[in-house]
């Protein structure tokens, strides 16, 4: 099902590109700016089984994106500058922001040199438990379990299901089934417990993953000293805020910010919702971010920035630079706003 969805999206992007419709639609749909969403930036891997590949792009593709944006005459700005422009309604020139979620070490090792080459500011949203080395990147842990297993057992609706994982196709199907099952659980703590059980059975050290992949506080202090870098908050544990009580959601948002500010000795004025789709971040969470004093908060809802978004600074959409679609011809479609407009039914603002 996931592969079918990817194929449909790819076909839609191709249709917009080869028809040239995106050129005609750009003046109408490109808005005043865009906030790009990224996670990993690192060299391509050869593994056939990469279920989380959508979360990574290569340094070369990042260079292509930056060159393309510059060629459009778009200003690449920090989130502070984007906030100023939206607050002051300064839309004389289009702008783009680059944002990276989670705080991965490859943002420093592979993204930063590319951003420096283009003098492009960017924001990294840090989950404080990841920087602490105590968090759990359960989606990575699940991938590693299935990569080494020939089968895994899960308990769903009281019944034990054995998922075949003997080859790459079977592993992909098993990952998707297990991922879908985990999304039905009541809380993030329960998700982490179940994945930790799988890790224990299959010899994967899930506790070591954040220390392997994410920047520590000392690393972040050095990284944040670069004038191109802004550090934003991303909750304490990278939880689905909509699943949490109001008190816990506030603790996650405020606690992440306070921890970052204490460790880095600089303000963390910007926030990104983990799992920032409609059912994970909505009116309650948008209001919380506003009441907690965040200047901006970004979702994972697709969309360009329009003047109307200035009224919803804690519900900002982003354009995903998805690793499944690292094709040069798609860049013009993505920056035209045509693809996200079609996704949103041509609504300019989706902040409900």
pLDDT in tens, 268-306: 999 999 999 999 999 999 999 999 999 999 999 999 999
Backbone angles phi and psi of 283, in degrees to 5:
-55, -45
Contact predicate 108/100, CB 8 Å? no
The pLDDT > 90 percentage for the chain reads 84
Residue where the block lists tokens 């944002």: 99
Strands 122-126, 229-233: parallel, antiparallel or unpaired by DSSP?
Answer: parallel
What does DSSP assign to residue 119? Answer: T
The pLDDT > 70 percentage for the chain reads 98
What is the C-alpha to C-alpha distance for residues 206 and 193, in angstroms, rounded to an integer? 11
What mean pLDDT is predicted for residues 245-269? 97
Q: What is the DSSP string of 53-118?
A: GGGEE-HHHHHHHHHHHHHTTPEE--HHHHHHHHHHT--SS-EEEEEEEE-BHHIIIIIHHHHHHT
Burial class of 242 by CB neighbour count within 10 A (0 to 12, 13 to 18, 19+)? middle
Classify the C-alpha dihedral 277-283-288-293 as positive or negative.
Answer: positive
User: Which structure tokens are listed for 178?
Assistant: 């297990």
* Confidence class for position 3, pLDDT limits 50, 70, 90: low
What is the C-alpha to C-alpha distance for residues 270 and 51, in angstroms, rounded to an integer? 29
Contact predicate 83/295, CB 8 Å? yes
* Confidence class for position 1, pLDDT limits 50, 70, 90: low
What mean pLDDT is predicted for residues 52-79? 97
19, pLDDT greater than 60 = yes
User: Which structure tokens are listed for 308?
Assistant: 């109307």
Contact predicate 78/126, CB 8 Å? no
* Confidence class for position 4, pLDDT limits 50, 70, 90: low
Q: Where are the alpha helices (DSSP H) in the chain?
A: 2-19, 21-29, 59-71, 79-88, 105-106, 112-117, 128-132, 138-148, 168-182, 188-202, 209-213, 217-224, 246-264, 283-291, 328-336, 338-343
Range with top average pLDDT, 105-114, 176-185, 273-282? 105-114
317, pLDDT greater than 60 = yes
* Confidence class for position 58, pLDDT limits 50, 70, 90: very high
What does DSSP assign to residue 167? Answer: S
Strand partners, 231: 124
* Confidence class for position 73, pLDDT limits 50, 70, 90: very high
351, pLDDT greater than 70 = yes
Cα three-residue angle 65-111-134, rounded to 5 degrees: 130
Average pLDDT across the chain, whole number = 94
Burial class of 305 by CB neighbour count within 10 A (0 to 12, 13 to 18, 19+)? buried
Residue 36 is predicted with a pLDDT of: 98
Backbone angles phi and psi of 57, in degrees to 5:
-130, 165
Q: Dump pLDDT digits (tens) for 121-148.
A: 999 999 999 999 999 999 999 999 999 9
What mean pLDDT is predicted for residues 329-333? 91
CA separation (Å) from 250 to 93, 210, 241, 287, 291?
36, 24, 9, 11, 10
Contact predicate 83/296, CB 8 Å? yes
């Amino acid at each position: 099902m996931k592969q079918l969805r990817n194929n449909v999206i790819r076909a839609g992007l191709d249709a917009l590109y080869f028809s040239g419709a995106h050129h005609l639609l750009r003046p109408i749909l490109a808005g005043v700016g865009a906030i790009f969403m990224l996670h990993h930036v690192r060299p391509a891997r050869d593994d056939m089984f990469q279920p989380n590949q959508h979360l990574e792009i290569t340094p070369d593709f990042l260079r292509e994106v930056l060159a393309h944006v510059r060629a459009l005459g778009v200003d690449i700005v920090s989130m502070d500058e984007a906030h100023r422009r939206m607050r002051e309604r300064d839309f004389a020139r289009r702008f783009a922001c680059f944002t990276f979620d989670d705080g991965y070490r490859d943002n420093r090792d592979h993204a930063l040199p590319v951003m420096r080459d283009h003098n492009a500011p960017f924001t990294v949203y840090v989950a404080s438990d990841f920087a602490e080395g105590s968090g759990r990147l359960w989606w990575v842990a699940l991938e590693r379990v299935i990569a080494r297993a020939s089968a895994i057992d899960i308990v769903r609706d009281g019944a034990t299901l054995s998922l075949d994982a003997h080859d790459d196709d079977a592993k992909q199907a098993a990952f998707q089934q297990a991922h879908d099952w985990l999304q039905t659980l009541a809380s993030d703590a329960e998700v982490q417990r179940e994945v930790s059980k799988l890790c224990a059975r299959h010899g994967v050290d899930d506790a070591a993953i954040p220390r392997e992949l994410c920047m520590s506080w000392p690393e972040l202090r050095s990284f944040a000293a670069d004038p191109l870098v802004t550090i934003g908050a991303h909750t304490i544990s990278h939880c689905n805020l909509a699943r949490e009580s109001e008190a816990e959601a506030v603790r996650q948002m405020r606690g992440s910010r306070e921890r970052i500010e204490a460790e880095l000795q600089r303000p963390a004025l910007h926030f990104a919702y983990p799992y920032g789709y409609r059912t994970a971040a909505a009116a309650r969470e948008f209001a919380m971010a506003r009441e907690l004093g965040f200047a901006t908060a970004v979702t994972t809802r697709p969309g360009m920035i329009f003047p109307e978004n200035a009224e919803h600074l804690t519900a900002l959409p982003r354009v995903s630079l998805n690793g499944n679609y690292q094709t040069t011809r798609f860049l013009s479609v993505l920056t035209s706003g045509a693809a996200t407009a079609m996704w949103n039914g041509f609504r300019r603002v989706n902040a409900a």
